[in-house]
Structure 1
Amino acid sequence: MTISLWKCSSVTLLGIFISITLTGGAAAKSVGDLPYTGVMECGTTPAQYQALRPAEKVICNAVDATPDDYYGISAHMIQYDMFVTSSYGHLLSDLPMDSPAQAQVIAEQKRYLEQRDACGKNYQCILQTEKKRLAELNAQRKPLERPLPTDEIERLTQGWRMATGKSLTERLLDGFDISPLRRVTFANGQQLIWGFQPDAAPIQSAAVLSPQGKTLALATSDGIFRSRLGQQPGDKGTLRVYVSDRQHSDSVLPLFLSWAAASSLGFNQSCQGQSRHKCEAALKDPPSLAIYDLHCQARRSNASCALPLQGNQAKAQDIGLFWN
């Protein structure tokens, strides 16, 4: 048996989701707990190889007509397997956790994997099945992923300046400068959307939208991303939250704090078992935090527009909702 190691390393480097099997009938605590979110890895031991699905074994052992053709059909099968897994995971994030809609997507993914397995050693069949599934997933994601309400953000933050003197509007849009934006949909229909500056990942922005797409709150995050991954964590970064209505502050702040904790850990945390300790530690030791009323006449990120901070009601299990 020959297993192509370059293919395995490619999948590992490109992989977005970690495989965690859902057991029992318990409710999932993170996207990673849901079935079929794992990245295909060809494995280096017989046991790892035997755990693969039939189509995955075919892909791992695929040989192109032209030797050493890294752009042949074997590479394309791996590439589209990764694309499907990524799009599937993002679609699950777009739907409320443990909802009927999420269950339907999982059932559809199961049928797709069975159909791909039925292709046997037919490379073209495998590749076409993957491409078809990717198109289905992308079509399902499109209506769920509301565009960033840029016009509303500009209206709400018009004239606002940060302590550095920089325009708040400009700073927020800098932190949303990726596509597609990441998002999580909560059970009440609200969404938290986030992004980062492509050439400076620690510069992040986030927004909480109502089920109707109205902006409830905005946030800037500076220096939080992966801040807890060093041997000796230093500066925890700064989170600044801006609410469109001060009555929303108590409801949106826990969401932003859970998101910031996930960001400090690099996202993609299950927060179960041994991982739960580090999730709880991240919540207990949050970044520097301030919350502001966007209707403040001074329109400055300083004490004159600050709102009082309430108790931290963020939950460790919510950290597992945020996958990058």
Structure 2
Amino acid sequence: MPSTTGIADCRKPKSPAEAAICHAKGFNELIPLDMWVAGLYKRALKNTTPGSAEQDKIIQGQRGYLQQRDACGSDTACLMKIMRTRQQQLIALNKQLKIELPDADIALFIGEHTYFQSAEEGRKDITPESSLADRILGAFEQYPPAHVKLTDGSTLFWGFQQGNGSVRSLAITDAKGRVQLVGAVDDLPDISNAILPGHDTRDEIDPAKHRLRSGRIALFVRDPAALRRYLPAIRGWAYADLLGFNVHCDKNAQWQQRCTEVQRYALPITAYGLMHCKSKANGKTLVNRCPVALPNVPGTAPLGLFRQ
């Protein structure tokens, strides 16, 4: 995120305005308002393409707001007026930028009679009678769904099943909102502490082989070119997931170590083709029998992109 968030640092206020926000007498509405404005600003950035003219306009608007806010000095009435105005501006902006999960398009992308069986992998929770569309959409139970704009204007959505965070789903739409890829993610562990020295890793990882002890990321595409285009973003998302999201790789030495170490682990990614899959049972297309080779694509999207 650009360093224009502007949350007042109450430990070391950088200006009279920040000091006034932190230490206003009586019932202090300024601190929560300051945090609210910052949160709305972050949401607006998240809903726009990095580096785009649209995002740059939002950043410049925030810089202008911070200049106005700081010009108030210790005048709390002035601060309240400026901050509330910015709050309302950002609320209106986020309504315009609001991105909805294209659930109907996802269902069409997958197909009505498409099923995914994982019994071959030793799992019994998904059977030939389980609809892939139900599995994917069933793990988007939070509203609004977590999502991030990618540098090419595409949007990566992710969600999880209510009451079972180990069952997650992915979906990616291109800059025109067309579904390009969906994914079923199961049992990825949180290894943010396990990869640090001195932690018991028996349940989560095999550090000697840089191997996860559980987890599956099954991707489904109609055009295999989508894998080449989006694998770096999926890797970045998956590594952020393994660290519990809200990753701060540059925060301190420990976070730097986490971000470096986690990317040494092989991700359990497999891919399957939805188009021209002829494997059927009782009239149902079993897409797990139509694997697609993963392309050799380098690169990983920044882990800090993926925040919840």
TM normalised by structure 2 equals 0.78
CA distance in 1, matches of 2:236, 2:228: 13
For residue 152 of structure 1, report the CA deviation from its aligned partner: 1.0
Q: Does 1:154 align with 2:107?
A: yes
Q: Is the 8 A contact 2:170 2:184 kept in 1?
A: yes
- Cα offset, 1:61, TM superposition: 1.1
How many residues are treated as equivalent by the alignment?
275
Q: Contact 1:215 / 1:244 at 8 angstroms: preserved in 2? A: no
Could you tell me how far 1:261 is from its partner in structure 2? 0.8
1:213 to 168, 171, 177: 177
Q: Which residue matches 1:260?
A: 238
Tell me the equivalent position of 2:44: 91
Residues 233-283 of structure 1 deviation map (CA, whole Å, 9 limit, x = unaligned): 433522111113223222122221111111111223344484454334323
Higher strand share: 2
Q: RMSD across aligned C-alpha pairs, in angstroms? A: 2.6
Structure 2: gaps spanning 5 or more residues: 119-125, 206-212
Which amino acid in 1 is paired with 2:115? R
- Cα distance, 1:141 vs. partner? 3.0
Q: Which stretches in structure 1 are left out of the alignment for 5+ residues?
A: 1-30, 44-48, 65-71
1:133–1:300 CA distance, 2 compared to 1 (3 A): farther
1:98 CA displacement: 3.1
Residue correspondence of structure 1 range 260-299 to structure 2 within 5 A: 260-272=238-250, 274=253, 275-295=255-275, 296-297=277-278, 298=280, 299=285
User: SS at 1:219's partner residue?
Assistant: strand
Which of the numbers 141, 145, 148 marks the counterpart of 1:184? 148
Amino acid at match of 1:308: A
**1:134-156 deviation per Cα after TM superposition (whole angstroms, max 9, x unaligned):** 22223323343432111111122
Q: Is contact 1:257-1:286 (8 Å) kept?
A: no
Aligned with 2:291 (options 306, 311, 322): 306
Distance 2:105 2:239 in 1: 27
Q: Which has the higher contact order (CA 8 A, sep 6+)?
A: 1
Residue 318 of structure 1 is matched in structure 2 by 302
Of 150, 160, 167, the match for 2:131: 167
1:284 is paired with a residue of what secondary structure?
coil
- 1:134 aligned partner: 87
SS state at 2:5 partner:
coil
1:63 maps to 2:58? no
Amino-acid identity (%): 28
1:4 corresponds to: none
Opposite residue 180 of structure 2, the aligned amino acid is L
Instruction: Note closer, same or farther for the CA distance 1:252–1:214 as it changes in structure 2 (3 Å cut).
Output: same
